[in-house]
Amino acid sequence: MTAGARSMTVLTDVKLITCIVQRGLGDIIVKAARDAGAQGATVFFAKGSGVRERLGVLGVAVEVEKEVVNIVVSAAQMEAVFDNVYLVGQMDTPGMGFMYVTPLEKAATYIPKEVIDRFNN
């Protein structure tokens, strides 16, 4: 390696799990993702509509304000994280949220040197 050169490690087989839940429940989702092995999450706020408008009077029990949780995972761990977030977040209850997976082309971030070295040998 030339002296002073920077290195870049690109990750492949990356997926994005996005989970939209009611305001206040984002932390639960992040924890569930972490428990299943995810290494990070991003949360931001949004306003949403969906089943709420179709529930009639019961719609008041669903909050309009939402939190959007983005979790980047590997393809291998995707099922586990997805399932765990679904179960912990109670997505089978009406109004509790919506989640989906998007394939990502590539990702890049800080990887500890020890980890990279494992792949050089």
Partner 1 sequence: MRKKNRSGFQAQDAAIEMRQISYDRLTPKIRRGTSGRIVPHVAASVKLHLKDIYRLLKNYFKNRFFDQVWVTAPLLVFVGIFQWWGLEQSWGDIGGTAIGFSAVTVGLMVLVEGLRVGVIPFGDAIGNTIPKKRALPFIVMIVFLLGVVVTFAEPTLTVLLALVPLVAVEKAPYLHFLLNDGALMLGWVVGGSVGLGLVCGVIRFFRGWRIKPVILGALALAVGMTIVVWLTPGVRGVVGFAWDCGAVVLGPVSVVLVLALGMGMVSAVARGREAVLGLGMILLAAMVSVIGVLGLALVTSMLVSEETIIAGAYASKVVAVPLSWMQTTPSHEILLALRAILPTMLFLWIVAQLLLKEKFQESGMLIYGMVLSTLGLAILHVGLTFAYAHVGGTSILDVKGLVGSSRFGTPMDFMMIGVIAGIIGFATTLAEPGLNLLGTAIEGRTNGVIKKKKLAVVVALGAAFGTMIGVLNSIVPAASFWVLVPVLSAMVLLTVFSSEEWVAIAYDGGGVLSGPMTVPWVYSLGLGLGGPVDGGGLLSMGVAGSIMAVLLMGLWERIHVS
Chain contacts with partner 1 (rule: CB under 8 A):
23-26, 36-37, 43-45, 51, 53-56, 58, 60-62, 65, 67, 76-77, 79-80, 83-84, 87, 90, 93-96
Q: At closest approach, how far in Å is the CB of 106 from partner 1?
A: 20
3-state secondary structure the chain: CCCCCCCCCEECCEEEEEEEEECCCHHHHHHHHHHCCCCCCEEEEEECCCHHHHCHHHHHHCCCEEEEEEEEEECCCHHHHHHHHHHHCCCCCCCCCEEEEEEECCEECCCCHHHHHHHHC
Q: Cβ 118 to partner 1, closest distance in Å?
A: 18
If the CB atoms of residues 7 and 72 are measured against partner 1, the closer one turns out to be: 72
CB of 31 to partner 1, least distance (A): 15
User: Minimum Å distance from CB 21 to partner 1?
Assistant: 11
Q: In a 10 Å sphere around its CB, with 0-12 CB exposed, 13-18 middle and 19+ buried, how is residue 73 labelled?
A: buried
Our CB check for partner 1 shows the closer of 18 and 77 to be 77
